[in-house]
Every structure is written in C-alpha cells, then in structure tokens.
Chains A and B, each alone.
Chain A
Amino acid sequence: EAGVTQFPSHSVIEKGQTVTLRCDPISGHDNLYWYRRVMGKEIKFLLHFVKESKQDESGMPNNRFLAERTGGTYSTLKVQPAELEDSGVYFCASSLRAGRAPRGNEQFFGPGTRLTVL
C-alpha cells in the first residue's frame, strides 16, 4: 500500500512568488493534516481536513496560506506571496476517521516538502 506522498520534495523560490505544495494521502483516509517545521523548531500544526471540509484551520499563520482538498482526495497548500519566514519543511499526514481508529488516530506522515524562500 502506498504511503503519503508529497510533491515537490524541494522548492526554492524568491520572496513574493507563489508556490503550491501537494499532498496525496493514503487511499481511504478521510483525515488530512498539514504541519510545518521552521528552522529546526518544533513541528507545528497548520490545518486539518475531514474529507473536503476544513475541520480546524487554527494553525494557519495568515491569509497568504490557502489550503484546498477538492473531492476529498489530494490536498494543495498554496503560499501567495511567499515571505522569507515561510521557509521550512511542510509535512502532510493522513489518518482514518476517529471513529474507525481505536488505536488513537495514528497519523501517517509524508516525507515533507522543503521550502526555501530567498
């Protein structure tokens, strides 16, 4: 079974440009999460989808970030315009619905996208 995949693995852009990150969750996983790790600090939650709906977007830093999950499958995270402080590693994770995950809603992570804003 394929795991969570993310594209691209690396992206280098200039300040003011737009970047779109993509995440393909494990097939059948309704929950999809975005996290970010900046400058070796802790990994921080950005937002959570249940199918195509945003369940919780309390971690989104500002309105330059836009996440979508059309059709409840893959998700995109767009940063427009990018700023220097957006540099970091963006992780995506997926999990089964809580009601079908008695083992504590385990989240499966992708390898991350390393974003560098110059």
Chain B
Amino acid sequence: AQSVTQLDSQVPVFEEAPVELRCNYSSSVSVYLFWYVQYPNQGLQLLLKYLSGSTLVKGINGFEAEFNKSQTSFHLRKPSVHISDTAEYFCAVTLLSGSARQLTFGSGTQLTVLP
C-alpha cells in the first residue's frame, strides 16, 4: 500500500517570500505524483503532476515541484507568494499501473500568506 506524508500542517509566510511545502511518499511500486490546491469554498484543483521525464515539473500560478526518487519526495515550491495563494495544498499519489486508480492523499498543508 502507498502512503503520503505532508510534514507541515500549517505554513505561514509573508507576501513575496519564497515557500516550500514538503511531501514524502511511500510505495512498493511506481506512482504518479500530484499536487492539488483547495481555495476556500471550492473543490480541489490540480496544480501540477509528475508522470515521467524531467523531474522538475511546472504547474499553474507559478508553482513548481521536484520529484526526487531517492528521497521519495515531491516538494512544492514557489519563489514569491501572493495573498491569493492562501489555500490548503494536498499532495497525492496514484499507482502507475494496475486496476486501482484512486488517489492517496496526504493530510494537507494550510498555506497562509501574510501581508
């Protein structure tokens, strides 16, 4: 079975500062990796995903993430955050093959951008 750990439940950061949200996963087989964001009163929206190829993945709203297979990590980064980035961020994995298609999520990281 696979699992996802988001090490920080809350991350406060000042506007225009850089931010990194950490995600580690555990799986006995290869997985796809995702970051989703949930803005207040909205559904989850896909930020970016890693399927294969370049380990640095760029997503929407200036976010990027780097897949590190040896460290089983997929940390999310943004060089300069805005107030509008305040939201909850979820890291998730799904199996690369087989019939199971569900996502396994981490517990989420609440990013709060302060003025």
**Chain A contacts to B: CB under 8 angstroms:** 3-4, 31, 33, 35, 40-45, 48, 55-56, 59, 91, 93, 95, 98, 103-112
The reply to whether A45 and B46 contact each other, CB–CB distance below 8 Å, is no
How far is A91 from B90 in the complex, measured between Cα atoms in Å?
A: 14
Asked if B114 is at the interface of the complex by the 8 Å CB criterion, the answer is: no
Residues of A within 8 A of B92 (CB): 43
Distance in angstroms from A67 CB to nearest chain B CB is: 14
How far is A3 from B4 in the complex, measured between Cα atoms in Å?
A: 27
The 8 A-B pairs at the shortest CB distance, nearest first, are namely A109-B44, A45-B102, A109-B43, A111-B43, A43-B105, A42-B107, A104-B51, A104-B32
Taken residue by residue from 1 to 22, chain B's Cβ proximity to chain A (1 for < 8 Å, 0 otherwise) reads as 0001000000000000000000
Residues of B within 8 A of A35 (CB): 102-103, 105
Distance in angstroms from A104 CB to nearest chain B CB is: 4
How far is A33 from B94 in the complex, measured between Cα atoms in Å?
A: 13
**Chain B contacts to A: CB under 8 angstroms:** 4, 32, 34, 36, 41-46, 49, 51, 90, 92, 94, 99-108
The reply to whether A103 and B107 contact each other, CB–CB distance below 8 Å, is no
Residues of A within 8 A of B105 (CB): 35, 42-44
Distance in angstroms from B42 CB to nearest chain A CB is: 6
Known A-B contacts A104-B49, A104-B94; A56 and B100 likewise in contact (beta carbons under 8 Å): yes
The reply to whether B43 and A45 contact each other, CB–CB distance below 8 Å, is no
The reply to whether B46 and A106 contact each other, CB–CB distance below 8 Å, is yes
User: Nearest residue in B to A4 (C-beta to C-beta)?
Assistant: B43
